[in-house]
């Protein structure tokens, strides 16, 4: 017997909660050895081989740093592990075979949270916080000291993040720690507009606001809008881009996001975006070419309005969004950001 709609909704929420709980990883054991004089920047990345924007970002950073002449590598825990859901030739090493020097730099994502206190105090650390709104999710207010989860890092060099909104939050939370922004990249070679879509369908990323998403989909069906929902799940990076080019509309359920890559990629592909900026998206959700909202009722009303427009009208606005996003979030800009942030840390060793 097929599950009821309510059972299916509960299952979705359960999977979402499990996913959130898995965010908080445990750092691998890393011993500090004497400096070698040729420092390397190691990006610690969880051993997860499913599409995850933070993983893709870390791999891209490592590629660009090496191209800039700064030695860098992705650091996984298991020997031989590497991400396979996108094409890359990134240098990857594992913690079991690592000989970490005192002059090396470990870039640690925020998903390691409280376990960062287990790092050797001799490790130079740059925290890469791509989820500023999630920084304190794993911490109990009554039992943790001010400055957690970063207060116990012996050689904290600073915090790197992905948006102005995140930088403001982190600077307020850790006023004595330098905070800088390394912009995200939307790859225009992959995410770009195609022909004007001719089908009435909307895409969405299913990893945010699962309960509200379920409600919105039911409301749209009850209103008889007739548009087909297309969840972006189980796809490679290339398949996501191809799907986004073929739909005229993307619904953003972003929530407490450091940046919000799915709506940015949808804009780059020429899809008109309706939905939540989610925090970090405030800097690119321009009402001139998309429809930011603040509530469920506003979201559904705006979707009704937009779904009644001609598809070529949506495509014209989508192309304006694409031009704006690709002009701002590109590799040359990120390369300059990384050089500004990382080069001084390497020259000080």
| Each residue's pLDDT tens digit, 161-214 | 999 999 999 999 999 999 999 999 999 999 999 999 999 999 999 989 999 999
User: Tell me, what's the pLDDT at 330?
Assistant: 96
- With tokens 């890469």, the residue in question is 128
d(CA 250, CA 314): 11
Mean pLDDT lowest among 5-19, 109-123, 216-230: 5-19
Domain contains 290: yes
User: Are 125 and 175 part of one and the same domain?
Assistant: yes
Kindly state whether residue 5 falls inside one of the protein's structural domains: no
Looking at residue 85, its pLDDT comes to 87
Residue 191 lies in a domain: no
| Strand partners for 93 | 75
Both 164 and 222 in a single domain?
no
pLDDT(116) > 70: yes
If asked whether residues 222 and 232 sit together in one domain, one would say yes
Mean pLDDT, the chain, rounded, equals 91
- Asked if the structure places residue 14 within a domain, the reply is no
pTM greater than 0.95 (yes/no): no
Q: What is the mean predicted confidence (pLDDT) over 30-54?
A: 91
DSSP 199-263: S-EEEE-TTS-HHHHHHHHHHHHHTT--PEEEE--S--HHHHHHHHHT-SEEEEE--SBSS-HHH
Report percent pLDDT > 70 for the chain.
93
Q: Are residues 34 and 80 in the same domain?
A: yes
The rounded distance, in Å, linking the Cα atoms of 339 and 328 is: 17
Whether residue 169 is found in the same domain as residue 209 = no
Answer yes or no: are the C-beta atoms of 127 and 160 closer than 8 Å: yes
64 domain residue, yes or no: yes
Mean pLDDT is lowest, of 23-27, 44-48, 115-119, 293-297, for 23-27
> How far from chain centre, in Å, is Cα 211?
21
Q: Are residues 235 and 146 in the same domain?
A: no
> Using CA atoms, how far apart are residues 194 and 186, in angstroms rounded to an integer?
16
Q: Which pLDDT does position 301 carry in this prediction? A: 98
For residue 237, what pLDDT is reported?
Answer: 87
Strand, helix or coil at 122?
Answer: coil
Residue 14 predicted with pLDDT over 90: no
Number of domains forming the structure of the chain: 2
Whether the pLDDT of residue 3 is over 80: the answer is no
Phi, psi of 227 (to 5 degrees): -90, 140
Q: Are 259 and 162 in contact (CB under 8 A)?
A: yes
Whether residue 1 is contained in a domain is answered as no
Beta bridge partners of 273: 250
Specify if 85 maps to a domain: yes
**What pLDDT does residue 19 have?**
44
pLDDT single digits (tens) 240-252:
999 999 999 999 9
Q: Tell me: do 175 and 254 sit in the same domain.
A: no
Q: Say how far apart CA 314 and CA 227 lie, in whole Å.
A: 14
Summarised one tens digit per residue, pLDDT across range 306-315 is 999 999 999 9
User: Quick count: other Cβ atoms within 10 Å of Cβ 27?
Assistant: 20
Q: Are 42 and 91 in contact (CB under 8 A)?
A: no
Q: Are 42 and 171 part of one and the same domain? A: yes
Q: Is the per-residue pLDDT at 285 higher than 70?
A: yes
Considering the domain architecture, whether residues 145 and 284 belong to the same structural domain is answered as no
CA distance 53 to 75: 17
Looking at residue 10, its pLDDT comes to: 43
Nearest alpha-carbon partner for 110 in 139, 131, 133, 137: 131
Whether 163 and 207 map to the same domain: the answer is: no
Answer yes or no: do 339 and 282 share one domain.
no
**Per-residue pLDDT at 12:** 41
Residue 293 sits in a domain whose CATH number is 3.40.50.2000
Per-residue confidence band for 9, with pLDDT thresholds at 50, 70 and 90: very low
| Boundaries of domain holding 125 | 19-185+330-347
- 12 against 69, higher pLDDT: 69
Q: Which of 51-65, 298-312, 316-330 has the lowest mean pLDDT?
A: 51-65
- Give Cβ neighbours of residue 71 (< 8 Å, ≥ 6 apart): 38, 39, 40, 41, 65
The phi and psi torsions of 2 (rounded to 5 degrees) equal -70, 145
Is the pLDDT at 15 greater than 80? The verdict is no
For residues 24 and 110, give the distance between their C-alpha atoms in angstroms, rounded to a whole number. 8
Asked if residue 155 is part of any domain, the answer here is yes
Query: Residue 224: pLDDT band by 50, 70, 90 thresholds?
Result: very high
* Res 23: pLDDT: 54
Q: Please tell me whether residues 271 and 179 are part of one structural domain.
A: no
């Amino acid at each position: 017997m097929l599950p009821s709609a309510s059972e299916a909704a509960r299952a979705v929420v359960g999977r979402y909660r499990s996913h959130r709980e898995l965010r908080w990883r445990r750092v691998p054991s890393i011993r500090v050895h004497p400096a070698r004089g040729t420092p390397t920047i190691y990006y610690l990345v969880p051993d997860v081989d499913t599409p995850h924007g933070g993983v893709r970002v870390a791999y891209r950073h490592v590629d660009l740093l090496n191209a800039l002449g700064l030695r860098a590598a992705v650091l996984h825990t298991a020997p031989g592990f590497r991400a396979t859901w996108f094409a890359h030739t990134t240098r990857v090493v594992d913690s079991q075979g690592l000989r970490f020097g005192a002059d090396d730099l470990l870039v640690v994502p925020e998903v390691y949270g409280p376990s960062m206190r287990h790092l050797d105090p001799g490790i130079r650390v740059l925290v890469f916080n791509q989820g500023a709104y999630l920084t304190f999710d794993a911490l109990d207010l009554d039992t943790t000291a001010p400055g957690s989860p970063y207060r116990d890092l012996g050689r904290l060099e600073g915090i790197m993040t992905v948006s102005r909104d995140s930088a403001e939050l982190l600077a307020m939370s850790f006023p004595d720690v330098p905070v800088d922004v390394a912009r995200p990249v939307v790859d225009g070679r992959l995410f770009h507009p195609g022909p004007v879509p001719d089908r009435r369908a909307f895409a969405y990323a299913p990893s945010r606001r699962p309960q509200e998403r379920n409600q919105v989909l039911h409301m749209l069906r009850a209103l008889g809008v007739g548009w087909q929902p297309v969840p972006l799940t189980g796809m490679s990076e290339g398949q996501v881009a191809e799907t986004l080019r073929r739909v005229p509309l993307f619904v953003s359920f972003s929530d407490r996001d450091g940046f919000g890559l799915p709506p940015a990629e949808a804009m780059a592909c020429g899809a008109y975006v309706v939905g939540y900026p989610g925090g970090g998206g405030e800097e690119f959700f321009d009402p001139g070419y998309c429809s930011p909202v603040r509530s469920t009722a506003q979201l559904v009303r705006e979707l009704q309005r937009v779904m009644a427009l001609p598809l070529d009208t949506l495509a014209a606005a989508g192309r304006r969004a694409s031009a704006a996003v690709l002009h701002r979030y590109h590799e040359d800009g990120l390369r300059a950001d990384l050089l500004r942030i990382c080069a001084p840390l390497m020259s000080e060793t």
